[in-house]
A and B are shown apart, each in its own frame.
Chain A
């Protein structure tokens, strides 16, 4: 078992309360930062740590912070992205539900580094009960003098608010999130300007994922250099992985970046292997948006090297033979799974979640779902495979926000690696996932 920095107190009863959290070393980073460090020093530690955004894109956090414009007399904001809507991803929920103070602590330390005096946690509507947990934690932090005016007797003040969204995947895209937070329709903005220059209410803003912000506390406590020693190369520190699918032990795991994928799937410390003694067929390694890989390619790169749970190793081979770490939504599929059915579900999701601003995504996502429906109905022809390939190519890279790409990539990858399954359905004129049908209807196979 590797080092744990976020879930190390997961076994402690009542760790969600201020007293217990504090008694276990909580809020140390706030004390250290506010009393002994300048904001720039905090940012420097984050830079040295090599921490990369945990929301999906993996952008270096220290660098992002250093882009924040700091004009005189204009407020700056830190906004935490707790919209977590990527299918297969549930690690932020786990962290916030069980360790709400870890996020509050990270928010205070990060806001101090950025010079923000008002910060927001934007949480998806379906997590309304988690919002209550966070609000309770925030009340406790105010009562303990960790929030509000003159925190810990210093002259730094911060107000922290929780805002619940309406439940739209697109509001996880950072500029749509800001629009929604401002009370408007959650449409992604056309960039530039980037939020670092003109974000919330037109003011410089940093948007970071829950896990990214929570990781700032241990970084400040242990020092950036120490944090950077965990992991491999440019994938430093620990990462929460939401493991789901046909594994023996689905759940949220904190791993040291660099664990071999094979170990993660098969060892007892993590997923514990494929359930019911089945063989593994494919893995979607980083949330529904990233390319699916067949077993051979998820366990080993095309070069034959073992694949590791790092940003670089998972991306090795580009989209031809690789994928992405993404948000860490790790979905494992066994040999009975229909990739076609899975893809249909994904296309339906992106169709439903497109905001509709730009034509390729608005029209293309719906079109792809309808073509996929033909495969499910068993009415598809082989030419529909080429059509799907063409549509996804015409969406990718031509949209305002990356949702268009996120809708296109799974389609491309499923066809790239599992084309035969599509051909079989088209040839036999029936959707042949019988096992799935039985499972769905609680029948035993005759």
Chain B
């Protein structure tokens, strides 16, 4: 099936979504995502940031689609033509979505553990406005513990449903889900029952914002002062392939490895995540290739300057488009 996105054509198998096709072409046409997660089934469709404009439905039915569609849940048709970054109205509509996501967000990045690797920071940086038009009190929730290792700071949640999908698909006997509705809907556990499961920690990795954080890492360090290393161990529960986040000689946290789109490549178990925090536990593979979170990449490989590595060029070569230009 042939599909053209922002003027770039690609041939993809039947059943491919517009988002997948766009990612195959490359970051210059790929829409931003907040709720889609490639290895969580039925994810996507909620946040509406990945909307695109279908200017030609298919070769058979060339009519444009009347409304923007979510690229993450819409399959391509042969001969489809799609506009993303080339359509000014679409970009305006996306700015609207981003504004909606931000009006009730506390914007407490200075004290948020996710800062530096937050999808919402990147998204607002690329699609937001400087000023808010929202003059009302933002919604607030009490913080709760999801088990003894995970902290839920619901006030920051954007209701992407990713953690719910983790609970549904990776843990047994789901007790984690959404209660209430509308703008007071919240993530919760059934009567604050602890999520006690080998794979619950993946909720932390999939959470695009600072709503679910690792209690063993909270407030220990800004992520850009830590240095990621890829490592593995023999694990009988999961793939054992992880990323270790070092400060000096100390492993401060363990996460799954993320792909180019910042989604976990493979989910890891809680034993690897929470109980193996010594270098001796792991076979170190080497420093993680620099990701688009340049706050991490720019500041923390102190030697890069000495080595005269041009990180910007490197990022471009790696195909990261959301290059962070923050000081």
> Which A residues form the contact surface with B (CB < 8 A)?
168, 170, 185, 190, 351-360, 362-367, 370, 387, 393-394, 397-400
Given known pairs A357-B46, A359-B48, A359-B158, the reply for A398 and B68 (CB within 8 Å) is yes
Residues of A contacting B: mostly:
helix
- Which of A185, A398, A400 is B177 in contact with, Cβ under 8 Å? A185
Determine how close the nearest CB of chain B comes to the CB of A336; give it in whole angstroms: 30
Determine how close the nearest CB of chain A comes to the CB of B53; give it in whole angstroms: 11
Given known pairs A362-B159, A363-B103, the reply for A351 and B183 (CB within 8 Å) is yes
Determine how close the nearest CB of chain B comes to the CB of A168; give it in whole angstroms: 7
**A190 pairs with B45, CB closer than 8 A:** yes
Given known pairs A358-B46, A359-B46, A398-B48, the reply for A168 and B181 (CB within 8 Å) is yes
- Scoring A355, A363, A394 by chain B CB atoms within 10 A of each residue's CB, the highest score goes to A363
Cα separation A370 to B93 with both chains bound (whole Å): 22
Q: Which residue of A lies closest to B183 (CB)?
A: A366
B73 within 8 A of A: yes
B122 within 8 A of A: no
- Give every chain A residue within 8 A of B97 (Cβ-Cβ): 359-360, 394, 398
Cα separation A353 to B180 with both chains bound (whole Å): 11
- Give every chain B residue within 8 A of A170 (Cβ-Cβ): 181
Q: Which residue of B lies closest to A373 (CB)?
A: B136
Q: Which residue of B lies closest to A387 (CB)?
A: B133
- Give every chain A residue within 8 A of B100 (Cβ-Cβ): 359-360, 362-364, 367, 394
**B68 pairs with A356, CB closer than 8 A:** no
Q: Which residue of B lies closest to A357 (CB)?
A: B46
B109 within 8 A of A: no
Q: Which residue of B lies closest to A356 (CB)?
A: B185
What are 7 A-B residue pairs whose CB atoms fall within 8 Å in the complex?
Answer: A353-B181, A353-B182, A359-B46, A398-B48, A398-B68, A399-B48, A400-B46
**A356 pairs with B103, CB closer than 8 A:** no
Q: Which 5 A-B pairs have the closest CB atoms?
A: A394-B96, A356-B185, A363-B100, A190-B45, A397-B67
- Scoring A190, A364, A398 by chain B CB atoms within 10 A of each residue's CB, the highest score goes to A398
Cα separation A355 to B51 with both chains bound (whole Å): 20
B283 within 8 A of A: no
**A359 pairs with B101, CB closer than 8 A:** yes
Q: Which residue of A lies closest to B98 (CB)?
A: A359
- Give every chain A residue within 8 A of B178 (Cβ-Cβ): 185, 356
B265 within 8 A of A: no
- Give every chain B residue within 8 A of A394 (Cβ-Cβ): 93, 96-97, 99-100
Cα separation A356 to B103 with both chains bound (whole Å): 14
B104 within 8 A of A: yes
- Give every chain B residue within 8 A of A399 (Cβ-Cβ): 48
Q: Which residue of A lies closest to B42 (CB)?
A: A190
Assuming A190-B45, A356-B183, A359-B47, what are 14 further A-B pairs, CB within 8 angstroms? A354-B183, A355-B181, A355-B182, A355-B185, A356-B185, A357-B161, A358-B48, A359-B158, A360-B48, A360-B96, A360-B100, A394-B100, A398-B67, A398-B96
Cα separation A393 to B67 with both chains bound (whole Å): 12
- Give every chain A residue within 8 A of B99 (Cβ-Cβ): 394
Determine how close the nearest CB of chain B comes to the CB of A205; give it in whole angstroms: 19
Q: Which of B27-57 contact A (CB under 8 A)?
A: 44-49, 51
Cα separation A364 to B51 with both chains bound (whole Å): 17
- Give every chain A residue within 8 A of B219 (Cβ-Cβ): none
- Give every chain B residue within 8 A of A359 (Cβ-Cβ): 46-49, 97, 100-101, 158-159
Cα separation A399 to B46 with both chains bound (whole Å): 8
Determine how close the nearest CB of chain B comes to the CB of A400; give it in whole angstroms: 6
- Give every chain B residue within 8 A of A393 (Cβ-Cβ): 96
Cα separation A370 to B144 with both chains bound (whole Å): 28
Cα separation A190 to B103 with both chains bound (whole Å): 24
Cα separation A370 to B138 with both chains bound (whole Å): 12
Cα separation A364 to B136 with both chains bound (whole Å): 13
- Scoring B73, B136, B182 by chain A CB atoms within 10 A of each residue's CB, the highest score goes to B182
Q: Which residue of B lies closest to A350 (CB)?
A: B182
**A366 pairs with B73, CB closer than 8 A:** no
**B181 pairs with A354, CB closer than 8 A:** yes
**A397 pairs with B47, CB closer than 8 A:** no
B141 within 8 A of A: no
- Give every chain B residue within 8 A of A387 (Cβ-Cβ): 133
- Which of B101, B103, B181, B185 is A367 in contact with, Cβ under 8 Å? B103
Cα separation A180 to B47 with both chains bound (whole Å): 22
Q: Which residue of B lies closest to A383 (CB)?
A: B133
**A356 pairs with B182, CB closer than 8 A:** yes
- Give every chain A residue within 8 A of B181 (Cβ-Cβ): 168, 170, 353-356
Determine how close the nearest CB of chain A comes to the CB of B209; give it in whole angstroms: 13
**A365 pairs with B96, CB closer than 8 A:** no
Cα separation A351 to B139 with both chains bound (whole Å): 14
Cα separation A367 to B101 with both chains bound (whole Å): 12
Q: Which residue of A lies closest to B101 (CB)?
A: A359
Q: Which residue of A lies closest to B75 (CB)?
A: A192
Q: Which residue of A lies closest to B135 (CB)?
A: A370
Cα separation A294 to B70 with both chains bound (whole Å): 36
**A397 pairs with B45, CB closer than 8 A:** no
B134 within 8 A of A: yes
**A362 pairs with B136, CB closer than 8 A:** no
Cα separation A352 to B99 with both chains bound (whole Å): 20
Cα separation A357 to B48 with both chains bound (whole Å): 10
- Give every chain A residue within 8 A of B180 (Cβ-Cβ): 356
**A351 pairs with B68, CB closer than 8 A:** no
- Give every chain A residue within 8 A of B134 (Cβ-Cβ): 367
Determine how close the nearest CB of chain B comes to the CB of A97; give it in whole angstroms: 28
**A366 pairs with B158, CB closer than 8 A:** no
- Give every chain B residue within 8 A of A370 (Cβ-Cβ): 136
Q: Which residue of A lies closest to B134 (CB)?
A: A367
Cα separation A362 to B104 with both chains bound (whole Å): 10
- Give every chain B residue within 8 A of A362 (Cβ-Cβ): 100, 159, 182-183, 185
**B73 pairs with A190, CB closer than 8 A:** yes
Q: Which residue of A lies closest to B45 (CB)?
A: A190
Q: Which residue of A lies closest to B68 (CB)?
A: A398
Determine how close the nearest CB of chain A comes to the CB of B101; give it in whole angstroms: 5
**B93 pairs with A363, CB closer than 8 A:** no
Cα separation A360 to B46 with both chains bound (whole Å): 10
B180-197 CB mask vs A (1 if < 8 Å, else 0) is: 111111000000000000
- Give every chain A residue within 8 A of B159 (Cβ-Cβ): 356-357, 359, 362
Q: Which residue of B lies closest to A187 (CB)?
A: B178
Q: Which residue of A lies closest to B186 (CB)?
A: A356
Determine how close the nearest CB of chain A comes to the CB of B190; give it in whole angstroms: 13
**B93 pairs with A398, CB closer than 8 A:** yes
**B47 pairs with A358, CB closer than 8 A:** yes
Q: Which residue of A lies closest to B136 (CB)?
A: A370
- Give every chain B residue within 8 A of A168 (Cβ-Cβ): 181
**B136 pairs with A400, CB closer than 8 A:** no
- Give every chain A residue within 8 A of B182 (Cβ-Cβ): 351-356, 362, 365-366
Q: Which of B96-132 contact A (CB under 8 A)?
A: 96-97, 99-101, 103-104
Q: Which of B164-185 contact A (CB under 8 A)?
A: 177-178, 180-185
Cα separation A404 to B230 with both chains bound (whole Å): 44
Q: Which residue of B lies closest to A399 (CB)?
A: B48
